[in-house]
Structure 1
Amino acid sequence: MRRHLTPTGDNVPNLAPMVDVIMVLLVFFLLGASFELVREGLLKTELDPASGPGGGAMVEINPRVRIALLDAGAAAVTIMLMDEQIAGGDFERLHAALQEKRLSGADTENPVVIGADPTVRWQFVIKAMDATVRAGFKNVQFAVSFRPGAVGGAGAGP
């Protein structure tokens, strides 16, 4: 008596051994990999000693246009354009004065240095930069250290 086998239509390969092999490979690669967390601000860098603090000569900038922002107390600022005070600390008047300088022959490629007293709010520094750019000047720089009357001169930094 011979048995006759009929296909049942269930010809799916057994996946259990393949899953076992994949898991072993996963464990192997995880153990073989080295994990080192890189924290922001702790990246290893080597700077040229000449480029560090105090490493190079102080760059003197002699701008054609200087803007100084002085703290005037409670949410106010005093604006000085080339050692002349802009009335009322109004940035629209600063914009008009800068346009007048540009129309009277000031080169828009020369640096415009903005220096601000450390107690001046950032919104005023940004408004001064916006007024300068709207007036058509393209090279806006910020003084690194600030002394009233010396914006862009000695101590202005690079």
Structure 2
Amino acid sequence: MRLRTRERAEPDVNLTPLIDVVFLLLIFFMISTTFEREAQLKVDLPEASTEAAEAPPERLEVTIKGSGDIFINDQQVVNTKPETIKRAIEELLGDKRDLPMIIRADSDSALQYAVTLMDIARQLEIKQVSLATVQTDAGQ
């Protein structure tokens, strides 16, 4: 007499409820999260702890005030449009493209102005661009 053997069924794991829960969690976090566009980067500008090096006698100094005013060699620029700033720097440089450019920015000024000035320096092929920092008491 021949006995019939039953085939063993492999255990089956139903993943449908797990996928449903994951999608519900995803939808919950997407709805409950608030997205905010950053208009400005908030960055604490650096402070130097070493003494300042002696600067060459001729240089191009660009100062950015916290109010957004820009001064080039102590002369205020009419507005802060990149074209105006570029034109003013070109007039002061003339044919001296090797003149070093120093960007001095207040700690509460918008970082975008410094980035714009560095981009203008690249467009005008100014090779020496420096960011000025404030010396702290720790450097003394």
TM-score normalised by structure 2 residue count: 0.54
Aligned to 1:138: 127
Report the secondary structure of 1:66's partner residue: strand
- State whether residues 69 and 115 of structure 1, in contact with CA within 8 Å, keep that contact through their aligned partners in structure 2: yes
Aligned partner letter, 2:101? V
Higher relative contact order (CA 8 A, sep 6+): 2
Equivalent residue number for residue 102 of structure 1: 93
In the alignment, structure 2 segments of 5+ residues that lack a partner are 1-48, 136-140
Shift of 1:116: 0.2
Letter in 2 for 1:118: S
Deviations 1:80-132 (A, max 9, x none): 000000012222211011122233x3x22231000000001211110111112
Which residue of 55, 61, 64 corresponds with 2:55?
Answer: 61
Runs of 4+ in 1 over 6 A off after TM superposition: none
Question: Which stretches in structure 1 are left out of the alignment for 5+ residues?
Answer: 1-52, 147-158
CA drift of 1:136 comes to 2.5
| Rg larger in structure | 1
State the SS of the aligned residue for 1:141: strand
Secondary structure class of the residue paired with 1:124: helix
Question: Number of matched residues?
Answer: 86
Q: State the 1:143 CA deviation.
A: 0.4
Q: CA deviation at 1:135?
A: 2.1
Aligned residue for 1:127, secondary structure, equals helix
CA contact (8 A) 2:93 2:99 kept: no
Identity %: 21
Contact 1:68–1:80, Cα closer than 8 Å, also in 2: yes
Q: Which residue of 2 aligns with 1:150?
A: none
Coordinate RMSD, CA, aligned: 1.9
Provide TM-score, normalisation by structure 1.
0.49
Checking the alignment, whether the CA contact within 8 Å between 1:102 and 1:136 is kept in structure 2 is no
In structure 1, the residue matched to 2:104 is 115
Aligned to 1:88: 79
- Conserved 8 A contact 1:102-1:135: no
Corresponding residue SS for 1:128: helix
